[in-house]
A and B are shown apart, each in its own frame.
Chain A
Amino acid sequence: MTQIRTKGDRAFSITAGLFFFLFMLICTIPFYYLVIVSISDAAEVQRGNVVWRPVGFTLDYYRQILTRPGIANAFFISTARTVVGTLFTVFFSAMFAYTMTQYKMKFRKFMYRMTVGTMYVSAGLIPWFLVMRAYNLNNSFWLYVLPGAISAWNVILIKTYMESIPPSMEESALIDGAGYFKIFYRIMMPLSIPILATVAIFSAVGQWNSWQDNFFLVSDPALKTIQLFLMEILLEAEALAVMMRTGLGTAEFARARVMTSFTVQVTMAVIVVIPIMMVYPFMQRYFVKGIMIGAVKG
């Protein structure tokens, strides 16, 4: 796509470029602060000396957290639930969204209304807990993957997007005698790649950050996610602080590289964000401008 670059164009480009640069700074500087805190001596942080540069550089907190037994398994579980959960979510949400675009189907309106309704109802912790146990999902990997597979939010996004695809694609396939599932799988899904990528990102991030299902319903250590793993470290750091209060101090305390709960939280935050930041740019490839339409049309 060629554009004639007028003077106005250039001015706009520069302004827009600067504007977004500023926006980017506002977003990243606080994160930079978190990073330098995580590599500074916790005592210096407590003294308020860490502002623009790390003070008392140390990778000790990362080391302490990353060498804990069980962290590898926790990473594995979180990755597994992210991958599997995202695939389930994208596939089933898209499938359901597709059926929701078929206005001729009986009960469609009813089902869609019920779906949208789920975003406004919530039963509370205890009922959710009891029901999940009744389904035997406690202590099971299914718990991480099934309940979120069809979320109204995703269905709405995909349905809205699918409805903007020219109906000619579908119609020609129907005339050719293709079944609905085939149409969905071979035509609609590929055409919806941008929104599917979006749903994938949302779902992946949701899975990666999720801890409540683990916390309440899964006690099997083999199924522990990284979020819960880190949270237990945090609880322990806070318990440690409690102990130190009531314990007895000597000069050793001042020299010990003691993890304060704040340091733990910050280090955790950095550890957890890094995988996401690595995956997200990969997904951006799919935000490609409408190449499909032309290709399929032919």
Chain B
Amino acid sequence: MKLTIKRIVPICLIVALSLLLITACGRGNGGDETAATPTPAADTGNQDQQEVTPGDDDPFAEHVTLTMWHTVGGASGVQTDPVAQYLHDMFNITIDWDLSASDERFMAMLAAGDLPDIIFRPLTDADVLVQGGHVIPLDGLVADLAPDITTYYQPTLEFMRNNFPPDNDGTLWGLPAHVFHAPSMPDRPWSGWYVRWDFFKALGYPLLQHPNEIMDLAEQMLEFQPINEAGIPFMAFSPMAEWGMQFMVANTFAEFYGLHQIGHVYWDIETFEPMNLFTDPASPMWVGADFWQQANNRGLVDPDWLIQSYATMEAKHNTNQVLISNIGWVGNWFATAELLAMGYEEAGYTGPIPVYGSRGFRIGGANVGGGGWGYFITTNNQHPERSMELINFFYSAHGVATLVTGTQWTGEYENWRWTDEGEKYMTDRFIDIVTNRLDVGMTWAEWNGNLKYINAAGTANSSMLPGRNFPSQGSDSPINNRRVVTWPEGDVFERFGGANLVEALVPPGSRIVQNVTFDTAVALPPVHDWDPAIQELYSVLYDLLELRLADAVLARSQAEFEQIRDAAIAEFIALGSDDFFEYVVNLVNETRARIES
């Protein structure tokens, strides 16, 4: 053995040294090609490749690779998708998407001053980005090279100039994305009760006057059919607390009461009057906690509700085990599909149930949009002009449509055409596919482009299409008028009428308004920029809140709940929640004044 080691070790060390030398030489040469990817395969790390055709003045002639940083969770395949090929053909650009995005990593890169060419970040990052000299001003670029942005998004640009960074001199430093341009496609409210619709129908569509009444409905449903089609007992509710107790309890009721949470204070969407989240027993948070306490004591809630992860919760909803949910995006489609696959054709889930008296509002900013994120071009960028052309594409009608619907269904890569008067309209072929070829057209796996680019490029789903009279918007849009996809949705139309699902399910008298409070929320400085003493207070209050909410929802009687709640409120006041409240109210009002000026 001694001999073997003696021989092996030096050999391995030599091999290792050679390997290292080889890789060290390989670095800095533009690197290697990724294996087995068709054009336009992304080339490498952070280096631009420039292949200039000699003697050609056409700005598109030079092929350029741009590195791009997007939000967490981008999909691979963006490099090889036909949309990427399209971008390559049309713009002569290859986008090198950074696929290992994480907030921590971004912080590290920012500290090192080594950012990719185009970054997609919260607008509130602007202060550091500008002060640290990491991004370039965009005024000239937008004016010269971004016709769509200039034509359709002036209010957005204004908003950006005035607010980011907070003491800005009017320079344009970034471009907000996810802009909801009025009139945009109305959205169903996210919060609300999504239910097993055929049971709801069998029970006579009992509508609600207040979200609390769902508990009675739940008991009726459980009595109606306690065991599901696979033999497993139903549960009425199965929420999860993985994102915090506050998130779990607060959402259901805020919309009903017409309150929007900004900076951990509730604001009336019409009067902008503040309400103290921590200490007001009538705040939606405490009302929500009360609700869950009651539901739990009535035996309606999954006993594992506080320990299960998001994935487990999702799995239970998707497999038809949970009758009611207040999170709109779990369960519905999969559970309905599951039932369909088992042979139950007139069964499934949808919602939300109309709740009369709701002051429900649709979330969407008038000027800035839902995400509060936007594009910045960094000082590392060697090709800011080409970058701006690309970004403009993301804002154009054609661009959004391509990113959403892909290239497959429009042979000439055109979903839209221009009239002679310079207006845009959808091609017949596109409309036909969207309205009639549902079986083929609508599953993500068969569409290229689609959401992988939406998340990656930061564009909003067909609501970012400009122009008031753009035919894809409004309730007569063929996209919105896709009526029946699943049986429950078909039944919704039958029962409630309406031109589309939103009209059908939002009860008359409920408001659907552009929510101006949202712009304030976007422009509000994030917590880590607040006064350090208030930051500390926030930490203390929030940590205590998580504990007390858990105690409260686990109370065994109404009296016990109220006792815990009142004791908690006293604790918060003793800790200084009034100071916190005052500070945030001032901050929000300041922000709002700044926006509206």
A-side residues, CB < 8 A to B, are 43, 45-48, 69-70, 73, 80, 83-84, 87-88, 91, 125-126, 129-130, 133, 139-142, 145, 189-190, 193, 215-216, 219-223, 228, 231-233, 235-236, 238-256, 260-262
From A73, A233, A235, residue with most partner B Cβ within 10 Å: A235
Interface: B76 (CB within 8 A): yes
For A126, give its contact among B36, B107, B315 (CB under 8 Å).
B107
B336 close to chain A: CB less than 8 A: yes
Contact A250 B19 (CB under 8 A): no
Q: Are A126 and B19 interface neighbours, CB within 8 A?
A: no
B residues sitting closer than 8 Å to A (CB atoms) are 1-2, 5, 9, 12-13, 15-16, 19-20, 23-24, 26-27, 31-32, 34-37, 44-46, 72-77, 98-100, 102, 104-105, 107-108, 111-112, 114, 230, 232, 311, 314-315, 318-319, 329-330, 332-334, 336-338, 340-341, 438-439, 442-445, 450-452, 455, 461, 485-486
Contact A142 B24 (CB under 8 A): yes
Checking A69, A140, A233, A248 against B485 with a beta-carbon cut-off of 8 angstroms, the contacting residue is A248
* CB–CB B340/A228 < 8 A: no
B36, B111, B232, B318: the one contacting A129 at CB < 8 Å is B111
A251 near B442: Cβ-Cβ < 8 Å = no
Q: Which of B46, B108, B438 contacts A219 (CB 8 A)?
A: B46
Partner of A220, one of B9, B32, B73, B337: B32
- Cross-chain pairs A/B with CB under 8 angstroms, 8 sampled: A84-B16, A87-B9, A139-B27, A220-B31, A243-B452, A246-B461, A247-B450, A253-B333
Q: When A190-B2, A262-B311 are in contact, do A219 and B334 touch as well, CB less than 8 Å?
A: no
Q: Are A255 and B319 in touch, CB under 8 angstroms?
A: no
Tell whether, in the assembled complex, residue A47 and residue B76 are in contact, meaning their CB atoms are under 8 Å apart.
Answer: no
**Measured CA separation A218–B362 after assembly (Å):** 43
Contact indicator A249/B337 (Cβ below 8 Å): yes
Q: A69-B37, A261-B311 are in contact. Are A239 and B438 (CB under 8 A)?
A: no
Interface pair B100/A228, CB less than 8 Å apart: yes
Q: Other than the known A220-B27, A221-B32, what 17 A-B pairs have Cβ atoms closer than 8 Å?
A: A43-B338, A47-B315, A69-B36, A84-B12, A189-B5, A220-B44, A232-B99, A236-B76, A240-B75, A242-B455, A245-B330, A245-B333, A247-B333, A250-B442, A253-B334, A254-B340, A261-B311
Q: Is the CB of A235 within 8 A of B73?
A: yes
Across the interface, do B13 and A87 meet the contact criterion of CB distance under 8 Å?
yes
Q: Is the CB of B442 within 8 A of A248?
A: yes
CB nearest to B71 among chain A residues: A239
How many angstroms from the CA of A129 to the CA of B107 in the assembled complex? 10
Task: Report A-chain residues with C-beta under 8 Å of the C-beta of B438.
Answer: 250
A247 contacts B443, C-beta separation under 8 Å: yes
Top 5 A-B residue pairs of the complex, sorted by shortest distance between their CB atoms: A249-B333, A254-B341, A245-B329, A46-B315, A129-B108
Inter-subunit contact A239/B105 (CB<8 Å): no
Q: From residue A212, how far is it (CB to closest CB) to chain B in Å?
A: 10
**Given known contacts A216-B108, A248-B443, A262-B311, A141 and B20 CB-to-CB distance under 8 angstroms:** yes
Which residues of B are found within 8 Å of A241, using beta-carbon distances? 314
Residue of A nearest to B12 (CB): A87
Chain B residue nearest to A128 (CB atoms) is B108
- B44 to A221, Cβ gap below 8 A? yes
Q: How far is the CA of A83 from the CA of B340 in the complex (A)?
A: 52
Q: Are A249 and B100 in contact (CB under 8 A)?
A: no
Interchain nearest-CB distance for B35 vs A (Å): 6
> Which partner residue on chain A sits nearest B26 by CB separation?
A222
Could you say which of A142, A216, A246 contacts B451, with CB atoms under 8 Å apart? A246
When C-beta atoms are compared, the residue in chain A nearest to B16 turns out to be A84
In the assembled complex, which residues on chain A have CB atoms less than 8 Å from the CB atom of B114?
133
- B337 contact set on A, CB distance < 8 A: 249-254
B76 partner residues in chain A, CB cutoff 8 A: 232-233, 236
CB–CB B336/A249 < 8 A: yes
B336: A residues at CB distance < 8 A: 249
Query: Given the complex of chains A and B, what is the CA–CA distance between A141 and B19 in angstroms?
Result: 9
For residue B44, which residues in chain A have a CB less than 8 angstroms away from its CB? Answer: 220-221
* Residues of B contacting A88 in the complex (Cβ-Cβ under 8 angstroms): 16
Complex Cα–Cα for A87 and B455 (A): 43
Given contacts A243-B450, A246-B329, A254-B338, contact A70 B34 (CB under 8 A): yes
Could you say which residues of chain B place their CB within 8 Å of the CB of A239?
73-75, 452, 455
Contact of A238 among B31, B73, B105, B329 (CB under 8 A): B73
A83 to B12, CA, bound (A): 9
- With a cutoff of 8 Å between Cβ atoms, the chain B residues found around residue A216 in the complex are 105, 108
Complex-state Cα separation, A47 to B461, whole angstroms = 32
